């Protein structure tokens, strides 16, 4: 659970289309077991809907990630701009339980009419993070793959190779012969 929560009970008592604007800051928000979004700041606009509130969130923060090229940590800036609906589970006027929304994985208001924006920020941040992060220091450098052989001549053959690989060795020799003729 996050601490970026807003009580929207008063907004739920208004007509559809009513709105409220808030700003927020948060020092850190754990994203998973390893990643943490830090230095979070942003704003949210809540608009009353028929089933709850619609939230438009703009936020930014920083996640420390590991560069896949250098294996060094670096700060990855995250900017979010998303909208999603938070559905009521309790009627604000009489306290009756409301039917579950049709959506597969909806955001729900708590029984005290609190919108947990932190959970949505967490989910949308995870969607924004790159699968293979590259630090700015290595982003524009061309990849240079080298193999160090430690003085072993590539043309040397090792007779202790498993006999099951003889067919592969013969095929490789045939490929090398074909390429040298071309």
Range of the domain at 127: 5-139
Please name every residue paired with 81 in a beta bridge, in sequence order, or none if there are none. Answer: 58
Q: What are the distances in angstroms from CA 157 to CA 168, 169, 175?
A: 13, 10, 16
Q: What are the distances in angstroms from CA 95 to CA 4, 39, 83, 89?
A: 24, 37, 27, 9
Q: What is the pLDDT of residue 160?
A: 65
Q: Is 167 a member of any domain?
A: no
Dig out the tokens for 148 from the structure: 């160090």
Q: Is 78 a member of any domain?
A: yes
Q: Is 166 a member of any domain?
A: no
Q: Is 49 a member of any domain?
A: yes
Is-contact 124 44, C-beta < 8 A?
no
Q: What is the pLDDT of residue 13?
A: 92
Q: Is 77 a member of any domain?
A: yes
What's the predicted TM-score (pTM) here? 0.72
Q: Is 127 a member of any domain?
A: yes
Q: Is 99 a member of any domain?
A: yes
CB atoms within 10 A of CB 28: 12
Point out the residues of the chain with pLDDT beneath 70. 1, 143-161, 179-182
Q: How many structural domains does the chain have?
A: 1
Gyration radius (Cα) of the chain, Å: 28
Q: What is the pLDDT of residue 145?
A: 60
CB atoms within 10 A of CB 9: 13
Q: Is 75 a member of any domain?
A: yes
Q: What is the pLDDT of residue 44?
A: 97
CA 40/CA 29 separation, integer angstroms = 8
Q: Which residue has the tokens 């597969």?
A: 104
């Amino acid at each position: 659970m996050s601490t970026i929560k807003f009580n929207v009970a008063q907004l739920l008592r208004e007509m559809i289309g009513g709105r409220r604007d808030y700003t927020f800051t948060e020092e850190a928000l754990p994203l998973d077991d390893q990643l943490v979004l830090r230095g979070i700041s942003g704003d949210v606009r809540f608009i009353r809907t028929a089933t709850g509130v619609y939230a438009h969130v703009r936020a930014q923060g920083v996640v420390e990630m590991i560069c896949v090229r250098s294996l060094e940590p670096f700060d990855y800036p995250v900017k979010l701009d998303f909208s999603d609906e938070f559905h009521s589970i309790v009627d604000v006027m009489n306290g009756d339980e409301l039917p579950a929304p049709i959506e597969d994985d909806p955001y729900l208001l708590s029984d005290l009419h609190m919108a947990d924006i932190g959970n949505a920020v967490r989910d949308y941040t995870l969607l924004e993070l790159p699968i293979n992060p590259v630090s700015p220091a290595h982003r524009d450098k061309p990849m240079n793959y080298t193999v160090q052989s430690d003085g072993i001549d590539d043309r040397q053959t090792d007779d202790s190779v498993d006999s099951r690989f003889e067919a592969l060795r013969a095929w490789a020799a045939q490929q090398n012969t074909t390429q040298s003729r071309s």
